[in-house]
């Protein structure tokens, strides 16, 4: 910052008590100078007379005091201001009131000049004294700095020596031995110990030592942190300095006494903010450890900690490399002997590597495959699918895997593969695609045959349901209607019948009517005529009304989109799934409400059955449903799959159940 502005300096001077004291002295001298009636004590008057000066001359000399005082307190500006004020105070007396104006004026000017000269002289002497004092202080500081530089050079040399020694090897044992030898040399001590914290963080293990007996080494080779003398160092990360171990008598120090150790310094070895161990130097005699020694040993300890971490990392990398080599050999064996076909091709589709199972899938040997391209095995549709898969993987988009791919074998037959594809990268750059494929040709053929069989069985079941429903409607129900009317006629027109007989006939008629209603409901369950005549939505409405009427569960149907007629097999499948779903709600859910939603879009129809019942835990797979005895849900899955659809179940205990079936149309 620059010098203060004059106004600021003036304000600062005015705030000081000395300013007002000097001002008071000037005022007092001026009052004395102009008041004739004020006299001096006799002894002072006689002294002034003996000197040979007048009273007013003496008073003019007294003006030198505030001038010189201002010089000490406020510098050159203070001298000038005080001398000018003193001149202004003395000059009117000398010019207008003195009996000898010329002499008085000369004395006044002499006081002004002499005051400036004396004040400036005292100011210069003071400045010179301050400058000498500053030079002496600077010299002492320079000597201290030179001493610090020498100590730092010594410390830096020791640290450089430590770094050079520790960097010569990455073997942990060799690093520790070199480190402890260097500590003995640098610290000029007779005993040094290095202990490492075990991976569990509960024990200290003596890793290297010099200057101690075998008995002591055996006693402290592995000690729990809570029992170790240097355990607090690892826990708190702070050093321990004991310059007279013989003064204490706790168990830890008794062990040191048995070894004859009188003084010791324990510092933590820190790397990346954590303590990896302790470094201890000790002496059998009482020794003081200066601050510089403590700092030097702390710096060495941190260097040793870094070297230990590097050695451990190197050991881990070496072991990891060995495990990687073993894993590579194991992977190579798995790759060569895998039952599934595994191959890698570059971004252009050229084979890079393939296993023996690829021969069974393609009909070509591995050597032949190395000269071929995936285009040699794929049709146009297969190539289109392969490009889509590659683009999604490169764009990091979601891909459902495994996916189905069809390839041409060497003999011209078609193989159906379930393929899982992943990217091959080198140095962050994609270089190809890795495929694992399983030949599912026979499984697919069997599945297709099974689906055809199930489809035919389902159609046969529906036809049989339809035939039974028609026979029940045309024969059984009609016969029950005739029987009911005959019983009604007999009960109403039977004159002379006893009352108990007439009541019996009426009861039989009511039972016949109830049986007829049950058969009619059975007929509707087997094959509702509403579904055949009006379609899916009226069939769902009938199911909801029937559910509400007979179970007491409030059931409603909701339509989303524009409704339309669907293929008969699709309508029948969706109806049966909804029928089974509502039957499960009635029997198992304990619900009070249920809802059936039919959503129509351009490409699909979605039917949702939802209830507010007790719910259940959903098994992982459809097969688990069968093992758990949930055959109705399994049948719903199979029905949806037969028409190319899918069925999803969402349920949790206490949160109800939702069944969603999607069918493309």
Regarding beta strands 263-271 and 274-283, do their DSSP bridges make them parallel or antiparallel, or are they unpaired?
A: antiparallel
pLDDT of residue 652: 86
- Residues 332/353, Cβ–Cβ less than 8 Å: no
Q: What's the whole-number mean pLDDT along residues 486-491?
A: 72
pLDDT of residue 633: 79
More confident residue, 581 or 231: 581
pLDDT of residue 78: 74
Tell me, letter by letter, the H, E, C secondary structure of 589-629. HCCCEEEEEEEECCCEEEEEEEECCCCCCCCCCHHHHHHCC
For 77-127, the pLDDT digits (tens) are: 777 777 788 778 777 877 777 777 777 778 778 777 877 777 777 777 777
Cis peptide before 547 (omega within 30 of 0): no
In angstroms, rounded to a whole number, what is the distance separating the alpha carbons of residues 578 and 597?
10
Q: What's the whole-number mean pLDDT along residues 646-652?
A: 87
Least confident of 74-88, 172-186, 440-454: 440-454
Task: Give percent above pLDDT 70 in the chain.
Answer: 74
- Residues 580/609, Cβ–Cβ less than 8 Å: no
In angstroms, rounded to a whole number, what is the distance separating the alpha carbons of residues 23 and 81?
11
pLDDT of residue 483: 77
pLDDT of residue 42: 58
- Residues 206/217, Cβ–Cβ less than 8 Å: yes
pLDDT of residue 343: 84
pLDDT of residue 607: 92
DSSP state of 285: S
pLDDT at 173 over 90: no
DSSP state of 419: E
Least confident of 168-172, 291-295, 558-562, 613-617: 168-172
CA distances from 565 to 458, 646, 661 (A): 21, 20, 17
β-bridge mates for residue 595, sequence order: 556, 610
pLDDT at 446 over 50: yes
In angstroms, rounded to a whole number, what is the distance separating the alpha carbons of residues 176 and 207?
7
CA distances from 219 to 213, 224, 228, 256, 567 (A): 10, 12, 11, 11, 89
More confident residue, 458 or 60: 60
pLDDT of residue 246: 47
For 292-336, the pLDDT digits (tens) are: 777 777 777 777 777 777 777 777 777 777 777 666 666 666 666
pLDDT at 437 over 70: yes
3-state DSSP call for residue 463?
Answer: helix
**Domains annotated on the chain, with CATH:** 6-137 (no CATH), 167-317 (3.30.450.40), 338-439 (3.30.450.20), 535-664 (3.30.565.10)
- Residues 210/177, Cβ–Cβ less than 8 Å: no
pLDDT of residue 549: 83
- Reading across the β-sheet that carries 593-600, which strands appear in turn? 554-560, 593-600, 604-611, 657-664, 646-651
pLDDT of residue 575: 85
DSSP state of 474: I
- Reading across the β-sheet that carries 341-346, which strands appear in turn? 351-354, 341-346, 429-439, 414-426, 403-408
Mean pLDDT over each residue of the chain, to the nearest integer? 76
For 604-615, the pLDDT digits (tens) are: 899 999 999 888
DSSP state of 28: H
- Taking phi first (over 0 means left), then psi (-120 to 50 degrees means alpha), and beta for anything else, what does residue 653 get? beta
More confident residue, 619 or 647: 647
- Taking phi first (over 0 means left), then psi (-120 to 50 degrees means alpha), and beta for anything else, what does residue 383 get? alpha
Run of H or E including 437: strand 429-439
- Residue 43, judged by CB atoms within 10 A of its CB (0-12, 13-18, 19+), counts as exposed
Q: What is the CA radius of gyration of the chain?
A: 55
- Sign of the torsion formed by the C-alpha atoms of 292, 294, 300 and 302: negative
Query: How many separate helices (H) and strands (E) can be counted in the chain?
Result: 22, 16
Least confident of 159-163, 519-523, 531-535: 159-163
Helix, strand, coil percentages for the chain (3-state, nearest 5): 60, 20, 20
In angstroms, rounded to a whole number, what is the distance separating the alpha carbons of residues 571 and 363?
45
Q: What are phi and psi of 406, to 5 degrees?
A: -110, 135
- How does 572-587 read in b/e, with b if 16+ C-beta sit within 10 Å? bbbbbbbbbbbebbbe
pLDDT of residue 103: 72
Least confident of 76-85, 138-147, 195-204, 592-601: 195-204
In angstroms, rounded to a whole number, what is the distance separating the alpha carbons of residues 544 and 599?
16
pLDDT of residue 597: 92
pLDDT at 629 over 70: no
pLDDT at 160 over 70: no
> Of 185-189, 432-436, 440-444, where does the model show the most confidence?
432-436
Q: Does pTM top 0.85 for this prediction?
A: no
More confident residue, 633 or 164: 633
β-bridge mates for residue 594, sequence order: 555, 611
pLDDT of residue 209: 82
pLDDT at 190 over 70: yes
Q: What's the whole-number mean pLDDT along residues 613-625?
A: 72
pLDDT range class, residue 481, cuts 50, 70, 90: confident
pLDDT range class, residue 174, cuts 50, 70, 90: confident
- Reading across the β-sheet that carries 240-242, which strands appear in turn? 222-224, 203-210, 191-197, 274-283, 263-271, 240-242
E strands within 147-298?
Answer: 191-197, 203-210, 222-224, 240-242, 263-271, 274-283
Helices 568-584 and 536-551 cross at an angle (nearest 10°) of 20
pLDDT of residue 441: 76
In angstroms, rounded to a whole number, what is the distance separating the alpha carbons of residues 296 and 292?
6
Cβ contacts of 498 within 8 Å, gap of 6 or more = none
Regarding beta strands 341-346 and 414-426, do their DSSP bridges make them parallel or antiparallel, or are they unpaired?
A: unpaired
3-state DSSP call for residue 200?
Answer: coil
In angstroms, rounded to a whole number, what is the distance separating the alpha carbons of residues 155 and 304?
15
pLDDT of residue 316: 78
- How does 129-156 read in b/e, with b if 16+ C-beta sit within 10 Å? eeeeeeeeeeeeeeeeeeeeeeeeeebe
pLDDT at 588 over 90: no
In angstroms, rounded to a whole number, what is the distance separating the alpha carbons of residues 263 and 256?
9
pLDDT of residue 1: 43
């Amino acid at each position: 910052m620059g010098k203060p502005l004059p106004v600021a300096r003036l304000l600062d001077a005015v705030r000081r008590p000395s300013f007002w004291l000097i001002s008071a002295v000037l005022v007092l001298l001026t009052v004395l100078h102009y008041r004739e009636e004020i006299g001096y004590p006799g002894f002072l008057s006689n002294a002034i007379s003996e000197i040979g000066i007048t009273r007013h001359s003496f008073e003019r000399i007294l003006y030198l005091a505030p001038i010189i005082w201002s010089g000490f307190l406020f510098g050159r500006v203070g001298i000038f201001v005080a001398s000018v004020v003193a001149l202004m105070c003395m000059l009117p007396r000398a010019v207008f009131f003195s009996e000898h104006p010329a002499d008085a004026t000369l004395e006044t000017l002499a006081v002004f000049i002499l005051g400036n000269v004396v004040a400036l002289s005292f100011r210069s002497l003071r400045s010179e004294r301050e400058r000498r004092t500053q030079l002496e202080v600077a010299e002492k500081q320079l000597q201290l700095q030179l001493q610090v530089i020498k100590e730092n050079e010594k410390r830096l040399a020791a640290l450089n020596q430590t770094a050079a020694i520790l960097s010569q090897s990455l073997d942990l044992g060799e690093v520790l031995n070199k480190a402890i030898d260097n500590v003995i040399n640098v610290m000029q001590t007779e005993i040094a110990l290095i202990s490492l914290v075990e991976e569990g963080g509960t024990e200290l293990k003596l890793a290297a030592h010099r200057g101690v007996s075998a008995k002591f080494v055996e006693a402290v080779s592995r000690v729990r942190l809570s029992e170790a003398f240097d355990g607090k160092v690892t826990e708190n990360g702070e050093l321990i300095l004991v310059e007279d171990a013989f003064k204490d008598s706790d168990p830890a120090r008794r062990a040191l006494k048995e070894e004859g150790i009188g003084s010791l310094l324990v510092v933590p070895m820190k790397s990346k903010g954590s303590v990896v161990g302790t470094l201890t130097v000790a002496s059998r005699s009482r020794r003081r450890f200066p601050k510089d020694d403590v700092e030097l040993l702390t710096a060495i300890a941190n260097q040793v900690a870094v070297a230990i971490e590097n050695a451990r990392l190197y050991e881990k990398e070496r072991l990891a490399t060995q495990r990687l080599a073993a894993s590579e050999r194991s992977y190579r064996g798995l790759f060569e002997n895998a039952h599934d076909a595994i191959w890698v091709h570059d971004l252009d589709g050229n084979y890079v590597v393939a296993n023996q199972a690829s021969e069974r899938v393609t009909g070509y040997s591995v050597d032949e495959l190395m000269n071929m391209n995936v285009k040699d095995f794929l049709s146009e549709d297969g190539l289109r699918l392969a490009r889509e898969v590659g683009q999604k993987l490169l764009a990091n988009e979601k891909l459902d895997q495994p996916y189905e791919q069809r390839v041409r074998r060497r003999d011209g037959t078609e193989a159906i593969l379930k393929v899982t594809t992943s990217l091959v990268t080198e140095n962050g750059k994609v270089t190809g695609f890795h495929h694992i494929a399983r030949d599912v040709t026979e499984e697919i053929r069997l599945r297709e045959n099974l689906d055809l069989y199930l489809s035919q069985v389902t159609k046969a079941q529906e036809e049989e349901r339809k035939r039974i429903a028609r026979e029940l409607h045309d024969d059984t129900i009609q016969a029950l209607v005739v029987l009911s009317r005959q019983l009604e006629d007999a009960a109403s027109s039977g004159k002379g019948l006893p009352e108990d007989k007439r009541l019996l006939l009426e009861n039989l008629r009511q039972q016949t009517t109830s049986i007829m209603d049950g058969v009619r409901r059975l007929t509707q369950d087997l094959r509702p005529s509403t579904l055949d005549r009006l379609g899916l939505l009226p069939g769902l409405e009938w199911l909801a009304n029937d559910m509400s009427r007979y179970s007491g569960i409030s059931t409603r149907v909701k339509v989303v989109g524009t409704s339309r007629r669907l293929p008969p097999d699709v309508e029948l499948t969706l109806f049966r799934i909804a029928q089974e779903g509502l039957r499960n709600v009635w029997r198992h859910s304990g619900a009070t409400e249920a809802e059936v939603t039919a959503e129509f879009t351009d490409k699909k129809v979605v039917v949702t059955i939802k209830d507010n019942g007790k719910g259940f835990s959903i098994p992982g797979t459809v097969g688990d449903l069968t093992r758990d005895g949930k055959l109705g849900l399994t049948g719903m899955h199979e029905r949806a799959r037969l028409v190319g659809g899918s069925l999803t179940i969402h349920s949790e205990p206490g949160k109800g159940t939702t069944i969603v079936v999607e069918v493309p149309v």
